[in-house]
Amino acid sequence: MSSHSPIAEHALLQTRRQFFGRCACGIGGAALGSLLNPAAFASAPKGSHGLPHFAPKAKRVIFLFQSGGPSQLDLFDYKPIVQAKSGTELPASVRGNQRLTTMTSGQNTFPVAGSKFKFSQHGPSGAWFSEVVPHMASIADEICMMNSVTTEAINHDPATTYITTGAQLAGRPSMGAWLSYGLGSENNDLPSYCVLISKGNPRVNMQPLYPRIWGAGFLPTEHQGVNLRSAGDPVLYINNPPGVDDATRRRMLDGLAQLNEKQYEEFADPEIVTRIAQYEMAYRMQSSVPDLVDFSDEPDHIIDMYGPDVRRPGSFAANCLLSRRLAERGVRFVQLFHRGWDQHAELPRDISTQAQDTDQPSAALVRDLKQRGMLDDTLVIWGGEFGRTVYGQGNVQPENYGRDHHGRCYSMWMAGGGAKAGGLYGETDDFSYNVAKHPVHVHDLNATLLHLMGVDHLKLTFSYQGRDFRLTDVFGNVLPGLLA
C-alpha cells in the first residue's frame, strides 16, 4: 500500500508498535506492570519482518575478531613449497598484477618468507595448525577451517569496515546491528548486540578500531553494538552516582513513574509509557550487569581452562569467558575485538605473543560451550580483516621477517551453530597467494552467517534513500560446504 494516507499507513504498522494495546485502557498500576516486560533495546520485537525466515541452526553468534590481519602462513595455511623456496623471489606469475599497499608496492624484490613455525595436521579433515596455536589444534574436531577467505580491500580501515558492514566505505549498518534489527532481542535486561574490546600485549602494533564497525549505520540507533567495557563502568553510566543507594534510586524511579503517568493522562502520548518502561529496564540492567561481569561464581576448572590471563579484566581470555556468560543470558551477537596482528616486521616474535593471548581462550570458549550443550546453537567465528603476504616486507631472515597485508586469500574458522564440525573448506595455491578452490568471499561468509541464524540474506533489507539495503549489498552466496 502506498503511504499517501497516514491513517492507512498506520493501520498497517499498528501490529508493530501496538499502540492500541498500550493506550486503550489507560495505565493503572496493574497495566503498567505488564508494560514493563517487552524487549527494551529493540523496538522490533522478536519475529518482526517475518523473521527468522526459516528454522535457525544458531541462536547466537560469538565473533572473535582478530584485528590487524593474522598471518595465515604462520597459523593455518601450511605450504611446503613456501618453506622450501624461502628467500627466493616470488614468481611474478603468482603475484599477477594485483594491487599492493603502498608500503611494499615500491619494493624491488618480493622474496618468499617461509614460516619459522612447525605445522601438524589435526582432526578428521587433516587441517593444519602451526605450533603457536596448539589449543586450537586440540579442538580441530569442532572447527570448520576456511583457508580461502577473500576480500578486495588491502588496508585496515576499508577491510575491517568491509567484513563487518559489507561495504568498504563508512555508512552501512554492522552485521550485529542487522541481526538486532532483524531478530530482536532474546533477553530482557541486556542489549542484543554486545561488543568487547580486549587489551592485548601493549608492545605490538595495534590498529585503531572504528566504532562504525559495530554501528547502526542508517538503522535506528538502538541497534548499534553496546560496548561492555573492562575498565570503568561496564556499560556507560550503569552505576548510580556516589551517595545514591538502591533505595534512593528505587524511590526516584517510582516517583518518576507516577509523575510521568500523570503526564500521560494529560497528553496520551505513548512515548511516555515507553519511557517509563525504559527507566525500569535501566534499573534491571543495573543489577544484571554487575552480576554478568562478576566471575566469582565460575568454578576453578572453568577459570583454569581459559588460562591465567582470564583473571586480568579486559584480557582476551576474560572476554572469551564473558562472551560465554553473555551467550548464556541470551545475547544475540557478541563481537570481541582483539588487536595486534599487524606484523609488518618482527612477525615471528609478535605472532607468538598474540597466539599466547588468544590460542588457549579461543579453544576454551568452544570447549566450554560444548560441555554446556550450547555449542550446537552458538556459532563461534575466529578471524580478521585479511591475511598477510607470502613475500617478506623489508629484509627476510629465517628467524625474523615481516609480511604486508594480503586480501586475496586468508584463513578463518567457525565452530558450532550449524557450521561443519571438523570441516576444511577451500584451497589456496602453492604460495597461499591466490584462492585455488572454493573461495569464501566476505559477502559469502556473511550470507552464510545469516543463513545459520535463520535469515535469508536477500530478504533482510532496510529501505533507505530509496533503496533496499542488505548486509551483503548485492552480492553473497550461502556456501553449503560450510554447513553441517
Interaction residues for other proteins, span 230-269 (CB under 8 A): 231-233, 235-245, 247-249, 251-252, 255-256, 258-260, 262-263, 266-269
Under the criterion CB under 8 A, does residue 206 sit at the interface with other proteins?
yes
Judged by CB under 8 A, the chain residues 381 through 400 that form the site for other proteins are 393-395, 400
Q: Is 155 exposed, middle or buried (0-12, 13-18, 19+ CB in 10 A)?
A: middle
With contact defined as beta carbons under 8 Å apart, do 180 and 223 qualify? yes
4/301 with CB nearer other proteins: 4
5/371 with CB nearer other proteins: 5
Judged by CB under 8 A, the chain residues 287 through 326 that form the site for other proteins are none
- Nearest one of 334, 388, 343, 359 to 59, comparing CA atoms: 334
Least CB distance from residue 345 to other proteins, whole Å? 5
- For the stretch 241-248, contacts whose Cβ atoms lie closer than 8 Å and that sit 24 or more positions apart, written own/partner, are none
H/E run at residue 272: helix 270-293
Judged by CB under 8 A, the chain residues 60 through 79 that form the site for other proteins are none
Can you tell me which of 98, 169, 291, 311 binds other proteins, judged by CB under 8 A?
169
Least CB distance from residue 29 to other proteins, whole Å? 14
46/459 with CB nearer other proteins: 459
Under the criterion CB under 8 A, does residue 96 sit at the interface with other proteins?
no
Least CB distance from residue 202 to other proteins, whole Å? 8
Least CB distance from residue 483 to other proteins, whole Å? 21
Least CB distance from residue 267 to other proteins, whole Å? 5
The CA–CA distances, whole Å, from 4 to 1, 7, 9, 105, 465 equal 9, 9, 8, 56, 18
Tally Cβ neighbours within 10 Å of residue 302.
18
- Strands 403-406 and 387-392 come out as antiparallel
Under the criterion CB under 8 A, does residue 84 sit at the interface with other proteins?
no
Stretch that binds other proteins, among 122-130, 135-143, 204-212, 429-437 (CB under 8 A): 204-212
Least CB distance from residue 65 to other proteins, whole Å? 13
Under the criterion CB under 8 A, does residue 101 sit at the interface with other proteins?
yes
With contact defined as beta carbons under 8 Å apart, do 63 and 336 qualify? yes
Q: Where are the beta strands (DSSP E) in 361-421?
A: 378-383, 387-392, 403-406, 410-415
Q: Which residue bears the cell 505513548?
A: 270
Least CB distance from residue 420 to other proteins, whole Å? 27
The CA–CA distances, whole Å, from 398 to 11, 257, 352, 369 equal 71, 69, 15, 39
Stretch that binds other proteins, among 78-86, 113-121, 321-329, 345-353 (CB under 8 A): 345-353
93/465 with CB nearer other proteins: 465
6/299 with CB nearer other proteins: 6
246/304 with CB nearer other proteins: 246
- Distance of alpha carbon 198 from alpha carbon 341, whole angstroms: 13
